[in-house]
Amino acid sequence: MASSSSPPAFLPSGTTTTTTVAASSLVNNAISATATTKASPTKKPSAVLGFLAGGIAACGAVTITNPAEVIKTRLQLQGELMRQAPGSKRIYTNSGQAFLHIAKYEGIRGLQRGLGCAYMYQIMMNGTRLGLYDPIKHTIHSALKTDPSKNNNAVNIAAGGIGGILSAALASPLFLVKTRLQSFSSHEASRVGQQHYYKHTVDALRHIYKTEGLRGIYRGVDASMMRTGAGSAVQLPLYDVVKQKMIHVGGLENGALCHGLSSLISGFFLCIVMNPFDIISTRMFNQGGSLYKSPADCLVKTVKAEGISALYKGFTAHYLRIGPHTIFTFVFMEQVKKVFERLE
């Protein structure tokens, strides 16, 4: 698969979103001929097309990776602010055991808990990030009077970071609801963390607003923005470095296999950076009262009560979600793009 010079307007090369940076590079290489003829580098890209394509593709990916997200949430909440007593047993010991445990006692419904809300979240989060990325990048290039057709890592990182933070702020209420839905277990002996029972997403938003107000709806938004910002800041450099090593040292062709392996390898290091922020976000979202006053307070209390290792709870499940989610997003993005091309 040959490399290309210009990506489609709605999915640019070098995007720094948490789950779709690799996808943009893959699409960039896969469809260069069509992109260069249909999209002028000086024309401001369509945010609407990017929103639709990104949201639809991410929904397809999350259908497959949602069980890993449920497992990650349970592992991160297990033993919250409690140091494990020597010899005591935990409900969930690792990702594989957690999968089997949830499947046994809660079935497929338990493994896909919160999927409806996850769809809404993906549309709002990834749709917004992909939709805003190119317009923001175009605006920055215009302000700097630089050529938007030339790759500029600094501009890419800035555009990805800004889009990521804005999308995190916008989608935060859905992230909150998704976390609470996924943490809830219908099997009493499988429950960890604070339990919140909601019939569905709308019921959850209504209940949270009624009992906690607007402040409750946006609980943990600062942690969410930090989480997304951290992911956006590190993923592009990591992905690019790994990809170049795979090409120049490993001898791989700059194609789908190289990009897929680069996503999986860079995703591991991304999780190392991002997992502590993810732990804080999960706990800030799931708390029903005032257990944590701020992300910093959550960090201090967690480390003090559970040790530094608590910041890496659910690491394996987190990694199993990020790598595959990126690759699946690319696969679905290609199919969505083909549909859009036929409709044009």
Cα–Cα distance list, 22 to 27, 159, 206, 261, 283 (Å) = 9, 16, 37, 10, 28
Average pLDDT over residues 308-334: 84
50-94 residue pLDDT tens? 678 778 888 888 999 999 999 999 999 999 988 776 667 899 999
- Give the ranges where the chain is alpha helix by DSSP (H): 21-30, 32-38, 47-77, 95-111, 115-144, 153-183, 201-217, 221-248, 256-286, 295-306, 315-343
pLDDT at 190 over 50: yes
* pLDDT band, very low/low/confident/very high, at 46 (cuts 50, 70, 90): low
> How far, in Å, CA of 270 to CA of 128, rounded?
21
* pLDDT band, very low/low/confident/very high, at 328 (cuts 50, 70, 90): confident
Return the minimum-mean-pLDDT range out of 7-11, 123-127, 152-156.
Answer: 7-11
> How far, in Å, CA of 195 to CA of 74, rounded?
11
> How far, in Å, CA of 25 to CA of 48, rounded?
20
Q: Which residue has better confidence, 241 or 217?
A: 217
> How far, in Å, CA of 224 to CA of 277, rounded?
8
- Which pLDDT value is given to residue 108? 95
Name residue 113's amino acid: R
Return the minimum-mean-pLDDT range out of 18-27, 165-174, 196-205, 317-326.
Answer: 18-27
Report the chain's mean pLDDT, rounded to a whole number: 81
Q: Which residue has better confidence, 64 or 161?
A: 64
289-320 residue pLDDT tens? 778 999 999 999 999 999 999 999 999 999 98
Q: Which residue has better confidence, 254 or 226?
A: 226
> How far, in Å, CA of 239 to CA of 198, rounded?
39
Tell me the pTM.
0.77
